Structure formats: C-alpha cells, structure tokens
Structure 1
Amino acid sequence: MSISLVLLPLAVAAVAAAHGVTSRSEQEGRIVCEVQTRMRDENLLAAALHDTAAVVAVAPDSITADWAGVRARFQRDEAGIWSAHFTGDIDEPRAVEVVRAVDVAYGRQVQRAVLERLRQQAPAAGLRLESEQVTEDDAVRLVFAVQGARS
C-alpha cells in the first residue's frame, strides 16, 4: 500500500481552517492525507525519527525512515512544508499515528534544543542556573539567578 501525508505547519493549518486530518485519493489511487504538525527543522526531524526507533537516512532533499515493514520518505516543498510518503505494510490510520508519534518526539527535540541554548547563553546574559526541575508532564522549570545579586 502507498500513502502520502502532507505535514502542515500548525500556523498554516490554522489559517487554512484545517482541523485534524483530511484525506483524498489521487488519480493513481494513492491516499493523500493532510496532518497538522510543527515540524520545520530537518535536523530535529531526523533526531525525532531516531527517537521513534526508525533507521534514518538523510539526503540533501529528503529524509528516509525505516521501521519494521514500513518506509517513509519525507520531502519539503518550496514553501517549506514537509510531506511523507509511506510504503509497505501500512494503512491511513497507522500512517497518521506514526506522524503524530514523530511530532511528539519532534516536540521533545525542540525542547532539548531550547534548553541547551538557554544553558549556553545564560552566562553571557549575566545569569547562573540555580536549579532545574522536570515535572510529571515533562515540562522543564529552570531557575536562574542574576550573577552578582545576592540569593
């Protein structure tokens, strides 16, 4: 089976008033779905795919991810919107499930990148990391102190 998903950035999806998943069939009979996502950065996408236990290959114009019996080829169009073409032992609900799992993993990658940037840039801004706490829902709370200020 072959399924293609168009991964709409959340902002584009909101403007287009798309809600959830929409699908249609192309002339070739291939199912094409549109799925809302926040994925933009190809390095974070590749890392997120690794987090979902995919074997990942990155090429200049695409990213390929292989799971047991399923292959997804991610490509970005001129507007920067990713699409994923799935082949193998997959149906539409499973393809959407995979993309949503990748989107969750992508969110964790974004969080890691932002935290790392904050940790690196804090000293230059006159801040010292005092504490870091991860909550049950994986939110991270950082407490910074202004260097030179009394605690």
Structure 2
Amino acid sequence: MSVSLILIPLAVAAVAAAHGARSGRDGKGRVVCEVRTRMRDETLLAAALQEAGAAVTADDREIAAQWDGVRGRFTRDADGVWSAHFTGEVDESRAVEIVRAVDTGYGHQVQRAVLDRLRERAPAAGLWLESETTTEDDGVRLVFAVGRDGPHAG
C-alpha cells in the first residue's frame, strides 16, 4: 500500500483546521491526507526520524526513512511544506501514527537545540545556570543567576 501525507506547519494549522483536514486519493489511487506538524528543519527532522526508530538517509532533495516493513520519503515543496510518502505495510492510520511519533521526536530535538543554545549563550549575557530540572511532562526548568563575574561572585 502507499500513503502520502502533507505535513502542514503549525503556523497555518489554524487555517487548515477551519477548512477541515483534506484526505482523499491522488490520480494514481494512493491515499493522500494532511497532518499538522511543526517540522521545518531537515537536520532536526532526520534526528527525529532516528529517534522514532528509522534508519535514515538524506540528500539535498529528500530524507528517506526505513522502518521494519515501511519506507518513508520526506520531501519539501517551494513553500517549505514537507510531504511524507509511505510505502509497504502501511495504511492511513499507521502513516498518521508514524508522523505523530516523528513530530513528538521533532519537538524533543527542538527542545534540546534551544536548551543547548541557552546554556551556551547565557554566560555572555551575564547569566549562570544554577539548576536544571526536568518536569513530569518532559518540560525543562532552568534557573539562572544574574552576575557578570561568574557563579561564585560575591
């Protein structure tokens, strides 16, 4: 079976929700539907696919992911909107499940990148990380001290 998903960026998801999610078949009879997602960065997408258990290969035109019995091909159009095309042992429900798992992994990748950037840039802004706590919902709470001379300035 073959399923194609159009991954709608969250920035336009509200408009898509107002008009309803599109689902149907293309000219070749393949299932095509839209899924809301926050995915934009190809490096983070590749990492999220790996986090979702896929073997990943990428070039300048697409990212390919291989799971047991399912192959996914991720491409982006001129507007930056990703499409995912799945083949193998997959139906519409399984394809949406895969994309949601990848989107969750993408969120984790974005969170890691932001946290790394905060940790890296904080000293230049006169901030020193005093504590870091992970919450039950996988949120991260950082507590910074303000001071130009480092964490032990008095």
Report TM bin, short chain: over 0.9
Residue of structure 1 equivalent to 2:91: 91
Cα distance, 1:104–1:20 mapped onto 2, change above 3 Å: farther
Counterparts of 1:20 and 1:44, CA distance in 2 = 28
Aligned residues of 1:20 and 1:36 also touching (Cα < 8 A): no
Secondary structure of 1:29's counterpart equals coil
Residue of structure 2 equivalent to 1:22: 22
Q: Structure 2: 5+ residue runs without aligned partners?
A: none
Superposition misfits of 4+ residues, deviation over 4 angstroms: 18-21, 148-151
Give 1:14 shift.
1.2
Counterparts of 1:37 and 1:138, CA distance in 2 = 19
What's the TM-score once normalised by structure 1's chain length? 0.95
- Count of aligned pairs: 151
Aligned-residue Cα RMSD (Å) equals 1.6
Counterparts of 2:138 and 2:20, CA distance in 1 = 24
Q: What amino acid is the match of 1:30?
A: R
Cα distance, 1:92–1:128 mapped onto 2, change above 3 Å: same
Matched, 1:35 2:35: yes
Q: Structure 1: 5+ residue runs without aligned partners?
A: none
Identity of aligned pairs, percent?
66
What's the TM-score once normalised by structure 2's chain length? 0.93
Aligned residues of 1:72 and 1:86 also touching (Cα < 8 A): yes
Residue of structure 1 equivalent to 2:138: 138
Cα distance, 1:148–1:123 mapped onto 2, change above 3 Å: closer
